Every structure is written in structure tokens, then in C-alpha cells.
């Protein structure tokens, strides 16, 4: 907790604001976990990123949703109604306190630029579900910055192109979109600074904010290098330098505080490599070389220095 409040200026929930976590039943909400996080962040003067209103994968959807839609005479209408209620309830509750929302998470296929076939929102409502969600969120909190958050775009240029095209269509229809988040889970490939910088610039060229929203870079990626911790540190510096080069890159969120608590150690694809050690602090909460590389990158970007003798 001390590290989380001392070292970070922004906070996001890993799971506690997902629809499944918040709503045990269609008209029932349990905000205990989410409230705790919001209180913690505000007590420490930290910005909050809300994550996430609509995500069709893994633990994103409530367990009751499919049964609820199956039982409806008009499933699309019922889904629209549930989306409106959910957004008003959650975004409304935290209005003025949550600065940014990942309104939509991962709309596209994992390895393609097409909409995911398993995406229940797209199946029932088509692409319009993006606009609907954004419009409801904007109505519930006009001051919140609204994001579409996507994964594995950093090393899939076609998927990134599709994300940009999607954002352009949303903007052309007049929906209130303010930013694009690139998750930055680099467990398949280490980051490439130039590619990332170019992608952040292309987001900014749409007039949108760009953020890296779920950064982690596992150590086993660098097993074949002489000093894996130094290579990991360089990779972190690359990500920060890419963002620092783009004025509309407004934040980087790491997906966890310390190496003892990372989703990668239990995730099916990466669990075999555990401990993945992907974060800035080790399991004893000691700052790693990656932490110092990030601090150096941030200090280098400050246009002035206080020099003491
Ligand atoms: O809460 C239960 C607990 O009661 C049970 O005992 C335990 C046993 O497995 O599971 C717990 O649930 C776990 C949940 O996290 C809460 O800790 C799930 O198994 C586990 O699968 C779940 O993983 C989360 C994952 O989303 C769900 O797919 C990760 O913590 C979370 O980091 C991850 O986050 C997502 C982002 O939201 C979106 N981008 C991708 C990222 C990784 O999938």
C-alpha cells in the first residue's frame, strides 16, 4: 500500500470494476471493492482510471448475462437497456471522481482487426454498441475522458490499423471518444520503441489522447541475454521514451505494483514461465533496475534540472 501511494500518480482496478465484479444479479450492485480503491486513490491525490464497462472476454461479463438475454423476447433491446442501466449506475456513482474510463475493452479479435465473433455486444447490436456505450457514459459524467482500450496492437500492425479505422468511424458518427488505450502486455514480444512511438503519434493525430494502460514486460523474454534485469529495464525505458515523445500520450499504467502479484503467473499462456517478474518492484517491494530506468527516462524528459552542489 505504501509503495502504491508513494510511487504512483494514477490508480486503476485490475478486476473490481468489471461488470461481473460489480453486479452479482441484474439489478444488484456491490461496490465494496471498487469503493475501497476509489477512496484509497482520492485520499492519496491520485488520478483514477475506471476499468472497464464493457468487456466480453474472460471475467468481463456478469455470469447471469447470457441467461438474461436468452430469456428476453428481444435480446438486443434487453442488452441496450442493461448497458444503459449499467453505465448510468457505475459512471454516475463515480462522476467527478474517475477521470478516465475504459468504456470498451478489446472490441477486436485477439489476432485480427475484425470484430470478435464471440463479442456478444457486437453480435446483438453491431458496431453501434461502441457509440451507445460512449454516449451513455458521457451523459453520466460529462467530465470523464472516455477510452477504447485494445490489446496486442503493439506488434500487429494490421490490427493497429483496424483500431485507428474504428476510432475514425466512431468519431465521424459524433460519439464522445477521447482516447485510445494500448494495453502493453508484452509477454509475446518485447516492445519496439519506434513502432510504439509511431502508433501513439497516429492516435494523437486523430486528436485523441493515447495511454499505455496495462504495461507489463516479463523477465523470461530476456532469458538469453547476459543481464535479463538490465534488458527488462531498457524495455521499460523504451516504452516511457516512446510516450514522452508524444505530447498527447497522457499516461502509462503498469498492470500491478510488485512481482509477487501479477496475473501472468496464473494466466494459462504465461503460468509455465512463473515467476514472470514483469513489474517495477520485486516481490519484497524493492525497486528493480526497471524502476530506476523509468525514473531516469522521466527525469531526462524534464526540461530543466535543479542542480545542487
Ligand atoms: O476471485 C476468484 C477467487 O474467488 C478464486 O478463488 C480464484 C481461483 O482461481 O479465482 C479468482 O478469480 C480470478 C480473478 O482474476 C480475480 O483474481 C480469476 O481466476 C482470474 O482468471 C482473473 O484474472 C484476471 C483476468 O483479467 C481475467 O481474465 C486478472 O486478474 C486480470 O489482471 C486480467 O486483466 C485483463 C484486463 O482486465 C484486460 N486486459 C487483459 C488483462 C489480462 O487478461
Task: Give the per-residue pLDDT at 306.
Answer: 62
Quick check: 305 pLDDT over 80? no
Task: Give the per-residue pLDDT at 1.
Answer: 77
Instruction: Map out the domains of the chain with their CATH numbers.
Output: 184-192+200-302 (3.20.20.80)
Locate the ligand 1 atom nearest the alpha carbon of residue 267 and give its number.
21
Locate the ligand 1 atom nearest the alpha carbon of residue 185 and give its number.
40
Quick check: 273 pLDDT over 70? yes
Residue (of 94, 11, 93, 19) closest to 49 by Cα position? 11
Residue minimizing CA distance to atom 38 of ligand 1: 105
Task: Give the per-residue pLDDT at 5.
Answer: 95
pTM: 0.96
Is 105 close to ligand 1, i.e. is its CB under 6 Å away?
yes
Q: How far is the CA of 303 from the centre of ligand 1 (A)?
A: 40
Locate the ligand 1 atom nearest the alpha carbon of residue 214 and give its number.
39
Q: How far is the CA of 263 from the centre of ligand 1 (A)?
A: 7
β-strand partners of 287: 281
Task: Give the per-residue pLDDT at 267.
Answer: 97
Is 263 close to ligand 1, i.e. is its CB under 6 Å away?
yes
Task: Give the per-residue pLDDT at 229.
Answer: 98
Task: Give the per-residue pLDDT at 121.
Answer: 98
Q: How far is the CA of 142 from the centre of ligand 1 (A)?
A: 30
* Catalytic positions, written as ranges: 106, 214
Q: How far is the CA of 145 from the centre of ligand 1 (A)?
A: 25
Task: Give the per-residue pLDDT at 6.
Answer: 96
At a CB cut-off of 8 Å and minimum separation 6, what does 306 contact? none
Task: Give the per-residue pLDDT at 132.
Answer: 98
Tell me the mean pLDDT in the region 88-112: 97
Query: What percent of the chain has a predicted confidence (pLDDT) above 70?
Result: 98
Q: How far is the CA of 175 from the centre of ligand 1 (A)?
A: 30
* pLDDT tens profile 126-157: 999 999 999 999 999 999 999 999 999 999 99
Is 59 close to ligand 1, i.e. is its CB under 6 Å away?
yes
Distance in angstroms (rounded) separating the CA atoms of residues 298 and 137:
33
Quick check: 40 pLDDT over 60? yes
> Contact 22/30 with Cβ under 8 angstroms?
yes
Residue minimizing CA distance to atom 7 of ligand 1: 266
Backbone angles phi, psi at 190, to 5 degrees: -70, 155
Is 12 close to ligand 1, i.e. is its CB under 6 Å away?
no
pLDDT higher for 89 or 1?
Answer: 89
Pocket test for ligand 1, best of 49, 105, 263, 276 (most atoms within 8 A of CB): 263
Q: How far is the CA of 17 from the centre of ligand 1 (A)?
A: 12
Tell me the mean pLDDT in the region 163-179: 98
In which band, very low, low, confident or very high, does the pLDDT at 307 lie, cut at 50, 70 and 90? Answer: low
Tell me the mean pLDDT in the region 80-91: 98
Task: Give the per-residue pLDDT at 117.
Answer: 85
Quick check: 200 pLDDT over 90? yes
DSSP string of the chain, one letter each residue: -HHHHHH-SEE--SSTTSHHHH-SBTTB---HHHHHHHHHHHHTT-EEEEEEEE--STTSS-TTHHHHHHTSSSHHHHHHHHHHHHHHHHHHHTTTT--EEEEEE--B-TTSSSBPTT-HHHHHHTTHHHHHHHHHHHHH-TTSEEEEEESS-TT-HHHHHHHHHHHHHHHHTT----EEEE--B-SSS---HHHHHHHHHHHHTTT-EEEEEEEB--GGGGTTSS-HHHHHHHHHHHHHHHHHT-TTEEEEEES-SBTTS-GGGTSTTTGGG-----SSB-TTSPBPHHHHHHHHHHHHHSS------
Locate the ligand 1 atom nearest the alpha carbon of residue 255 and give its number.
32
- The rounded mean pLDDT for the chain is 96
Residue minimizing CA distance to atom 12 of ligand 1: 59
Is 213 close to ligand 1, i.e. is its CB under 6 Å away?
no
> What is the separation, in whole angstroms, between the first and last Cα of the chain?
34
Is 58 close to ligand 1, i.e. is its CB under 6 Å away?
yes
Is 110 close to ligand 1, i.e. is its CB under 6 Å away?
no
Amino acid at each position: 500500500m505504501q509503495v502504491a501511494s508513494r510511487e504512483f500518480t494514477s490508480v486503476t482496478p485490475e478486476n473490481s470494476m468489471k461488470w461481473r465484479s460489480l453486479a452479482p444479479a441484474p439489478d444488484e450492485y456491490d461496490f465494496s471493492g471498487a469503493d475501497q480503491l476509489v477512496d484509497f486513490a482520492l485520499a492519496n491525490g491520485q488520478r483514477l482510471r475506471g476499468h472497464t464497462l464493457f468487456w466480453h472476454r474472460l471475467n468481463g461479463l456478469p455470469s447471469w448475462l447470457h441467461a438474461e438475454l436468452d430469456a428476453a423476447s428481444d435480446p438486443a433491446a434487453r442488452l441496450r437497456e442493461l448497458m444503459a442501466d449499467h453505465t448510468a449506475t457505475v459512471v454516475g456513482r463515480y462522476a467527478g471522481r474517475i477521470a478516465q474510463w475504459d468504456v470498451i475493452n478489446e472490441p477486436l479479435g485477439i489476432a485480427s482487426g475484425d470484430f470478435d465473433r464471440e463479442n456478444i455486444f457486437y453480435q446483438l447490436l453491431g458496431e453501434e454498441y461502441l457509440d451507445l456505450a460512449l454516449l451513455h457514459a458521457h451523459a453520466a459524467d460529462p467530465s470523464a475522458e472516455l477510452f477504447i482500450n485494445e490489446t496486442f496492437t503493439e506488434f500487429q500492425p494490421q490490427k493497429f490499423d483496424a483500431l485507428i479505422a474504428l476510432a475514425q468511424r466512431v468519431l465521424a458518427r459524433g460519439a464522445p471518444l477521447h482516447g485510445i488505450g494500448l494495453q502493453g502486455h508484452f509477454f509475446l514480444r518485447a516492445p519496439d520503441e519506434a513502432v510504439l512511438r509511431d502508433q501513439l503519434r497516429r492516435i494523437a493525430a486523430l486528436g485523441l489522447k493515447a495511454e499505455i494502460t496495462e504495461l507489463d514486460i516479463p523477465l523470461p523474454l530476456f532469458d538469453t541475454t547476459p543481464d535479463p534485469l538490465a534488458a527488462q529495464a531498457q524495455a521499460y525505458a523504451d516504452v516511457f521514451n516512446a510516450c514522452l515523445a508524444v505530447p498527447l500520450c497522457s499516461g502509462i499504467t503498469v498492470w500491478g505494483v510488485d512481482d509477487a502479484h501479477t496475473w501472468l503467473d496464473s494466466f494459462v499462456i504465461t503460468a509455465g514461465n512463473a515467476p514472470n517478474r514483469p513489474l517495477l518492484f520485486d516481490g519484497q517491494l524493492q525497486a528493480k533496475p526497471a524502476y530506476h530506468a523509468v525514473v531516469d527516462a522521466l527525469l531526462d524528459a524534464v526540461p530543466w534540472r535543479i542542480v545542487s552542489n
